[in-house]
Structure 1
Amino acid sequence: MMKLKENFFYKKKILIYGLGKSGSACFEFLNRNNDILVFDDNFSIKNKKYSNYFFSPDRIKKINFDFIFLSPGIDINNCILSKFLKKNKIKIISELDIFYKTYPNLNKITITGTNGKSTTSKLIYEVLKYHKKDVRLVGNIGNPILKEKNIKKNTIFVIEASSYQIDYSKYFETNIALILNIAPDHLERHKTFQNYVNAKLKLIKKQKKKSIALIEKNNVLIRDILKSQKFKSKIKNVDFKEYDSFFKKIKNNYFKNLSNIKNLSFVLALSNILKLDNSKILKVVNNFKGLNYRQQIVYNKKKILIINDSKSTSFSSTVPLLQSYENIYWILGGLAKKGDKLNLNKKYFKKIKAYIYGTNKAFFLNVLKNKCRSHSSKNLKNILSKLFLDIKKNKNGKKTILFSPAAASFDQFKNFEERGRYFNQLLKKYINA
């Protein structure tokens, strides 16, 4: 058991803004040795647990805090205390900062990127676990980093970090950084693509000389930025083509598409640095089932393959799947991302039929106009009914039903998980028939 380094966050006046998973974990972690106040835009969250700590906005604005913990879900430009936060921006910290200042010498592998973060993080975790390492999987994947217990000197933290978490971080440093890819995303929050890119690259900028950063070799955008700026860490390019011999040994269909091959190439590059056993890695890869609603194969019988990729919220995350399968019945729709564009060679549209639903269906119909056959309906239930009627009429070859919405879920669902579960429930009517 490691002894905590308590002097940095000790007897400080701290505001915790946002009481979701991260904020709640932060409260539990800091409350014993600090003067804590909490706030959330959702006043109904003020329950017995927080009743003695929850102050009104007017009272909070009069207090001089040492630090302000900002939950990654809070948009500094669109919240009740927006003006107060901007005035005190220098005091804003993240859960990653609290963790780093408490455990500065622990081994940290941090994964970020527009697409593939969770899958890559999970795969790294499984590989290290199979090598008998004391490893923890935390961060944006859903496990608050400050909730971890029984931490030892040799504990390795695999951290999935979103652009929001990195953007709010002030002190956090990681031994190894993986930037999988960067494409336009979250522009409604970051305002410009450059701001989004800067948030991601902040992960490398904070690294020291002995640290390592892995980036995609053919990502021109990242490469050009790295050339124009100075970084202390050692930067290594990851080229998936270097691992062809390993890929040929894989018997898991999950790694059929290019996006998962690229994710895996980062895992292999990291494994080379850590000097791990390739035969053990192959066993993990062949048994890897992926994560729910992330390119998840939910059915593969009777000449029908069904993929639930509800996690897809942008065109860039869907394109590799459209390139990897044949005879695709593509279900998409929801709330379109600001600035999102579909970059797909016209040759692929010949094998695609699109089934569009949701609030922004007019936008998606326009994007696909004159490119492929498209149908639309107001909701997922109706469009799935239309799709299966068409499937029955087509007796030729294997068909791929691809639920990869390329849009946010919030028009009709709480989150992508709820959307993914609902899709699976709807399927039962058709695949059990």
Structure 2
Amino acid sequence: MKLVVLGAAESGVGAAILAQKEGYEVFVSDMGSIKPRYKAMLDAHHIAWEEGHHTEANILSADEVVKSPGIPETAPMVAKLIAQGTPILSEIEFAGRYTDARMICITGSNGKTTTTSLIYHIMRKAGIDAGLAGNIGHSLALQVAEAPHSTYVIELSSFQLDNMYKFRANVAVLLNITPDHLDRYDFKMQNYVDAKMRILQNQTADDTFVYWKEDEHVPNELPKYSDPSAKCGFTDEAQPGSAGYAANGTFVVNAPVHFEMPLSQLSLPGRHNLRNSLAAAIACLAAGVSPEVVRQGLSDFPGVEHRLEKAGTVNGIHFVNDSKATNVDACYCALESMTTPVVLILGGKDKGNDYAEIMPFVKQKCRALVYMGADNSKLHANFDATGLPTADTHSMRECMEHAVALAQPGDTVLLSPCCASFDLFKNMEDRGEQFKAWVKQYGEAK
């Protein structure tokens, strides 16, 4: 059997190493450049690779292909593979063939990294042999090949779910579905909804599905599925049949095991983080963690980098790094949590965003707007009519200089871009790191 891997980053290299271990003939191809550490890993395993181009004869002869989630189906080589009927899998799907570990899987348009990290934190606190994989942590395939665990906590994007078919989530968490990545789904919301709902596929009566009952889409979608898993829907406030909620200053979980704790003891602030905490608590309880350990984990979780991360205060101006806010709903949650006037940094690669959702908060909470992207025309069209001061920038340095000039002592400069980062930065992390580095230098200069 010949397996071709398209994309030689964390997931692709892990899939290649696992495939070789399982006896496949393996070839790795990346249209871009491969990082030195991944080249070294492939060379150490004597796996053939190429970069900067695709050799069509080598790729189209594959029995199966593992595709990086970042490569769209419209990419020419992928389109040719689809046309000839070659099976295309995600790394998660491929890795799932070779492990019997318990899978706790988390998806959603927003909050999945925080919730995944929180579940992993609680599982480790419980002494469970857990691995962190998917969009964060190390490649699931590489862990299965070289450092297997009894449980995996996996953050799944819609792109990964698109190419998953037989993989089974023992505990599936679906936090919410709001418009995101619509450019990858023909700008049709239902296509994106269908991708997220794939996390349910293959669940059995022994499994658990955790979801937010007040989501606009999920409750309406559930009747379409004959999924036999136990359903644990949580709500913001007490409702009949709710598996979890907040009431009278108390965090309440009713299923699968009952426990309560004061809201004041939760380490993560904000309404959106209440939902993340409820989802994590229910998922961990479903996985057999004791209520006492769940309570401890919810209380001492340190948070996630690039998600409402405090980057410092200089000259009375607060700086908050929310680079993970790559869609409008995430920015909405960030603005909702702000208690000071805001200089909001927006922009990047637009993914079919509708900015109407955040307009009330922009008018209510923002002192100024700084646009940062290769093309800021859509931001101008949506926000200039508010009459707020704006600045048009194309680099982090330029952006931050304008943001500080527009801010007053006591204000918060909030990087919550609503957009992907690929127009000006390597990725979301690079954008956040540049933001924090600028703040650090600014503070040292003062």
Q: Is TM-score (shorter-chain normalized) higher than 0.5?
A: yes
Report the Cα offset of residue 360 of structure 1: 3.0
| 1:336-371 Cα deviation digits (max 9, x unpaired) | 222433313636622212222222322112222333
1:336 and 2:336 matched? no
| 2:426 aligns with one of 408, 414, 422 | 414
- Distance 1:229-1:287 versus aligned 2 partners, 3 A rule: closer
| 2:436 aligns with one of 405, 424, 429 | 424
| Map 1:283-322 → 2, pairs under 5 A | 283-299=296-312, 304-322=317-335
1:243 and 2:246 matched? yes
RMSD: 2.6
- Distance 1:363-1:170 versus aligned 2 partners, 3 A rule: same
Q: Does the 8 Å CA contact 1:25/1:147 hold for their aligned counterparts? A: yes
| 2:388 aligns with one of 373, 380, 390 | 373
- Runs of 4+ residues deviating >6 angstroms: 43-48
- Distance 1:214-1:321 versus aligned 2 partners, 3 A rule: same
| 1:102-153 Cα deviation digits (max 9, x unpaired) | 11x321100011111111111100011111111111111141001214435x
Report the Cα offset of residue 215 of structure 1: 1.1
Q: Does the 8 Å CA contact 2:177/2:216 hold for their aligned counterparts? A: no
| 1:224 aligns with one of 216, 220, 224 | 220
Structure 2, unmatched stretches of 5+, are 238-244, 252-260
Q: Does the 8 Å CA contact 1:323/1:348 hold for their aligned counterparts? A: no
Q: Does the 8 Å CA contact 1:334/1:359 hold for their aligned counterparts? A: yes
| 1:239-285 Cα deviation digits (max 9, x unpaired) | 13323413744356x62222222111101222332453444334333
- Residues of 2 paired with 1:180 and 1:169: CA distance? 19
- Distance 1:382-1:68 versus aligned 2 partners, 3 A rule: closer
- The letter for the 1-side match of 2:203 is Q
Q: Does the 8 Å CA contact 2:8/2:34 hold for their aligned counterparts? A: no
1:27 and 2:41 matched? no
- Residues of 2 paired with 1:377 and 1:360: CA distance? 10
Equivalent residue for 2:89?
93
Q: Does the 8 Å CA contact 1:355/1:383 hold for their aligned counterparts? A: yes
Equivalent residue for 1:402?
414
Report the Cα offset of residue 197 of structure 1: 1.3
Q: Does the 8 Å CA contact 1:210/1:234 hold for their aligned counterparts? A: yes
Equivalent residue for 2:66?
69
TM-score of the aligned structures, taking structure 1 as reference length = 0.87
- The letter for the 1-side match of 2:107 is T
Q: Does the 8 Å CA contact 2:18/2:95 hold for their aligned counterparts? A: no
TM-score of the aligned structures, taking structure 2 as reference length = 0.84
| 1:355 aligns with one of 370, 377, 382 | 370
- Distance 1:274-1:243 versus aligned 2 partners, 3 A rule: farther
Equivalent residue for 2:170?
175
Q: Does the 8 Å CA contact 2:181/2:352 hold for their aligned counterparts? A: yes
Equivalent residue for 1:9?
none
- The letter for the 1-side match of 2:399 is I
- Distance 1:331-1:21 versus aligned 2 partners, 3 A rule: same
Structure 1, unmatched stretches of 5+, are 1-11
- Residues of 2 paired with 1:44 and 1:61: CA distance? 17
- The letter for the 1-side match of 2:412 is T
- Distance 1:62-1:97 versus aligned 2 partners, 3 A rule: closer
Equivalent residue for 1:202?
198
- Residues of 2 paired with 1:350 and 1:62: CA distance? 55
1:212 and 2:208 matched? yes
Percent identity, please: 24
- The letter for the 2-side match of 1:298 is A
- Residues of 2 paired with 1:273 and 1:134: CA distance? 16
- Distance 1:277-1:303 versus aligned 2 partners, 3 A rule: farther
- Residues of 2 paired with 1:280 and 1:39: CA distance? 44
